[in-house]
Amino acid sequence: MAEADDESFALQLILPEGGKTAPCCPHGPTLLFEKVSKRGERGRRFYACSACRDRKDCNFFQWEDEKVSEARLLAREVKNQSKRPLLSQEEYHTRFTTFISLPLDEKKFCQDCQILLLPGEREAHASHRSTDVSAAQLRRPSALLRPLDNKKSNAQYLFTDRSSHFLLDTLSALGYTKLLCVGTPRLQELIKLRNLEQKHKPMKSLLLDIDFRSACPSPLCICFCKECADRVCSCDKLQPEAHTPYFYQDTCARYAQFYSQDEFCHYNMFNHHFFGGEPSSAVLQAFLTECDEEKVVMVADPPFGGLVKALANSFCLISRMWRKLQSSDGSNADMPMMWIFPYFFEPRILECLPSFSMLDYQVGYDNHPLYKHGKTGRKQSPVRLFTNISPKDIILPKEEGYRFCSVCERDVWCLNKHCAKCNVCPSKDGREWKHCSACQKCVKPSWRHCHSCGRCALPDHPCGLSQGKEGCFNCGSLQHKRKACPLKDTHRISSCPFSAKSGRSKNVSRHPLFKHKTKMRPGAACRAKKMATQSM
Ligand code: SAH
Ligand code: ZN
Ligand code: ZN
Ligand code: ZN
Ligand code: ZN
């Protein structure tokens, strides 16, 4: 079976280097990609949208060396301007305050447009499905809003109450008083609810989210026009000169409706872009400033198709911002962070952020059929916490099946048995792994040692093919094929907007080209590598 056909290529993300500014699409600065062919030839570089993986959501494309005409630049600027939300976060909040003061029977929510309706606006949504909204519902926007379910681009998977409370209890116990919620709307609302209950230590929170709703699927999706109270469809009928809609289906965050200026920033975590510009990034700066006993921590739960390298870069920028705001003593400390992501991204995340480690805790999701937590579970969640907080400080719930390993000095899943030979608790996927003396490491329970390949593999692996002449498509090594690559990145090319013929799995990143500002310490590099090998 061929690993990749002749047309196949990988995409490498090139991080912005000093001075060069990327062109912008409605989602902020675009990202620079480089096509790399199977033989390692580097292709022409191009800019593409950072946030949308589907061309129909954002079709921005520009070759890096392309000369763009004035006319096209102008048209682009007009488009970007027209997609900018007309309401500032302050105005959203004013609407919200007005809404709250309405009598109960006048509090209406349009389900088709996903917006709170003020009395004068109901007419325009008369043919839409609308519902009443209770005070309790207003405090749980994540239950009121329809979770995004665009599989390809960006689904919203909401934490179970159990996982949300676990995260908040854990961070609160560690003394954190301010939680920066990046793509975690549920945590933000739970903090506010817990503050109301007054049973827990009060916490502050700031939500950064793009809440991207993809392009209008039907004429039902309508944005309300401020001037003519007319129905305006966001897909084609909309003429920016004629109307000033305040909700675009794809670029206006519905979560913005429920929060004040210092509780929500419309933010893109793939390019560290604030849609509200300078005032919005000032909100983050103010939040990151620690007064008195305050301690800030970040919890991010990005879409799992997201580019690790781009995310890591944004989180580094947030950390740098935080560091600059601290008094001189901790000048080279990193901001405490938790990044929630599937376990199979471990090598990739550690490669970008060597000070992070992966915890065994399985994050549970309400609306994800596969990611529910379960002890006996065929259906265990593959989603884990990656953090630069010391693992020995994080206590995982015993009653859910976690235990303390005194050798590793961290809490691990009950099936993750310590291996005396490897001297680690080796399991990554929640199953009990077993030691292979020939490979001198622990491997997945389903693997068998294959003598012709000289390594452990699934019993039905393409035997003998692993020493192919062409080597690994991912890292170039002649020792294995891409499938067995310890640095394999599970990113697919389809996670990039230019998925023209890219339905099949192609890696976005190739290790040898990987360049990152943070230098890996020798120990960390060694550890990252070791863990990478274990995680396959
Ligand atoms: N488990 C979380 C939700 C995670 S779903 C909770 O329960 O709160 C992923 C979240 O990331 C969504 O809220 C989505 O709107 C947000 N998101 C997706 N792409 C983003 C981007 N480019 N920038 C910022 N936020 C994004
Ligand atoms: Zn875009
Ligand atoms: Zn409507
Ligand atoms: Zn072992
Ligand atoms: Zn074999």
Q: Ligand 5 is a single-atom ion; what residues have CB below 5 A from it? A: 450, 452-453, 463
- For every residue of 371-413, DSSP letters joined together read ----SS-SS---EEEEESS-GGG-PPPGGGTEEEETTTTEEEE
Asked whether residue 333 is assigned to any structural domain, the reply reads: yes
> Which region, left, alpha or beta, applies to residue 380 given φ > 0 means left and ψ of -120 to 50 means alpha?
beta
> Which region, left, alpha or beta, applies to residue 428 given φ > 0 means left and ψ of -120 to 50 means alpha?
alpha
Indicate if 173 and 289 belong to the same structural domain: yes
Token reading at 9: 């290529």
CB-CB contact of 368 with 375 (8 Å)? no
- Could you tell which of 148, 151, 156 is best to mutate to test the pocket of ligand 1, judged by most ligand atoms within 8 Å of the CB? 156
pLDDT tens readout for residues 360-403: 999 999 876 555 554 444 468 899 999 999 999 999 999 999 99
Nearest-atom number in ligand 1 for the CA of 158 is 7
Which ligand has the shortest distance to the CA of 267?
A: 1
pLDDT at 326: 86
pLDDT at 77: 92
Indicate if 256 and 160 belong to the same structural domain: yes
Indicate if 162 and 300 belong to the same structural domain: yes
Closest Cα partner for 128 from 114, 112, 143, 144?
Answer: 112
Token reading at 415: 């099936």
Indicate if 65 and 196 belong to the same structural domain: no
486 Cα: distance to centroid of ligand 5 (angstroms): 17
Ligand 1: list residues with CB < 6 Å: 51, 154, 156-159, 183-187, 209-212, 267-270, 301-303
132 vs 128: CA distance, rounded Å: 13
pLDDT at 86: 66
62 Cα: distance to centroid of ligand 2 (angstroms): 12
- Could you tell which of 145, 163, 184, 268 is best to mutate to test the pocket of ligand 1, judged by most ligand atoms within 8 Å of the CB? 184
99 vs 104: CA distance, rounded Å: 10
18 Cα: distance to centroid of ligand 2 (angstroms): 22
How many independent structural domains does the chain possess?
A: 2
Question: Which parts of the chain sit beneath pLDDT 70?
Answer: 1-8, 86, 149-154, 214-251, 328-331, 368-379, 465-536
Token reading at 504: 């099949």
What SS3 string covers 157-192?
Answer: CCECHHHHHHHHHHHHHCCCCEEEEECCHHHHHHHH
Asked whether residue 387 is assigned to any structural domain, the reply reads: yes
22 Cα: distance to centroid of ligand 1 (angstroms): 24
**Quick check: helix, strand or coil at residue 106?**
helix
Answer with the one of 379, 394, 409 that is the final residue of a domain.
394
314 vs 274: CA distance, rounded Å: 12
**Quick check: helix, strand or coil at residue 223?**
strand
CB-CB contact of 181 with 171 (8 Å)? no
Indicate if 158 and 39 belong to the same structural domain: no
442 Cα: distance to centroid of ligand 4 (angstroms): 4
Sign of CA dihedral 328, 329, 331, 335: negative
Asked whether residue 517 is assigned to any structural domain, the reply reads: no
Indicate if 78 and 155 belong to the same structural domain: no
Return the number of other C-beta atoms located less than 10 Å from residue 143's C-beta. Answer: 13
pTM of the model: 0.82
Distances (CA, A) of 375 to 159, 161, 195, 330, 378: 17, 17, 31, 41, 9
145 Cα: distance to centroid of ligand 3 (angstroms): 13
Nearest-atom number in ligand 1 for the CA of 51 is 22
Asked whether residue 322 is assigned to any structural domain, the reply reads: yes
Which ligand has the shortest distance to the CA of 481?
A: 5
- Could you tell which of 144, 149, 211 is best to mutate to test the pocket of ligand 1, judged by most ligand atoms within 8 Å of the CB? 211
Asked whether residue 525 is assigned to any structural domain, the reply reads: no
DSSP E strand boundaries for 426-516: 434-436, 441-443, 448-450, 455-457
CA-closest residue to ligand 1 atom 5: 156
CA angle, 259 as apex, 362 and 293 as ends, to 5°? Answer: 70
Answer with the one of 394, 424, 439 that is the final residue of a domain.
394
Residue 515's contacts (CB-CB under 8 Å, 6 or more residues apart) are: 15
Asked whether residue 426 is assigned to any structural domain, the reply reads: no
CB-CB contact of 180 with 336 (8 Å)? no
Distances (CA, A) of 467 to 9, 488, 533: 21, 17, 17
Indicate if 61 and 154 belong to the same structural domain: no
Indicate if 58 and 203 belong to the same structural domain: no
Indicate if 183 and 303 belong to the same structural domain: yes
Which ligand has the shortest distance to the CA of 426?
A: 4
Which ligand has the shortest distance to the CA of 141?
A: 1
CATH number of the domain where residue 356 is located: 3.40.50
370 Cα: distance to centroid of ligand 4 (angstroms): 29
CB-CB contact of 59 with 499 (8 Å)? no
Indicate if 49 and 193 belong to the same structural domain: no
Q: How far apart are the first and last CA of the chain?
A: 20
pLDDT at 366: 85
Angle at which helices 308-325 and 277-288 pack, to 10 degrees? 60
Distances (CA, A) of 238 to 214, 224, 228, 387: 16, 11, 13, 44
Nearest 10 degrees: Cα torsion 88, 94, 100, 101: -160
Answer with the one of 353, 379, 394 that is the final residue of a domain.
394
Range of 32's domain? 10-82
Nearest-atom number in ligand 1 for the CA of 157 is 5
Residue 259's contacts (CB-CB under 8 Å, 6 or more residues apart) are: 89, 92, 93, 96, 188, 207
Asked whether residue 136 is assigned to any structural domain, the reply reads: no
pLDDT at 15: 92
One-letter amino acid identity for 389? I
Distances (CA, A) of 530 to 82, 253, 426, 453: 50, 41, 11, 20
What SS3 string covers 277-311?
Answer: HHHHHHHHHHHHCCCCCCCEEEEECCCCCCCHHHH
Indicate if 155 and 261 belong to the same structural domain: yes
Closest Cα partner for 314 from 262, 384, 358, 267?
Answer: 267
Nearest-atom number in ligand 1 for the CA of 164 is 7
Asked whether residue 372 is assigned to any structural domain, the reply reads: yes
Long-range Cβ contacts of 484-487 (<8 Å, 24+ apart): 484/455, 484/457, 484/536, 486/347, 486/529, 486/532, 486/533, 486/535, 486/536, 487/347, 487/348, 487/351, 487/511, 487/532
60 vs 47: CA distance, rounded Å: 8
Indicate if 72 and 167 belong to the same structural domain: no
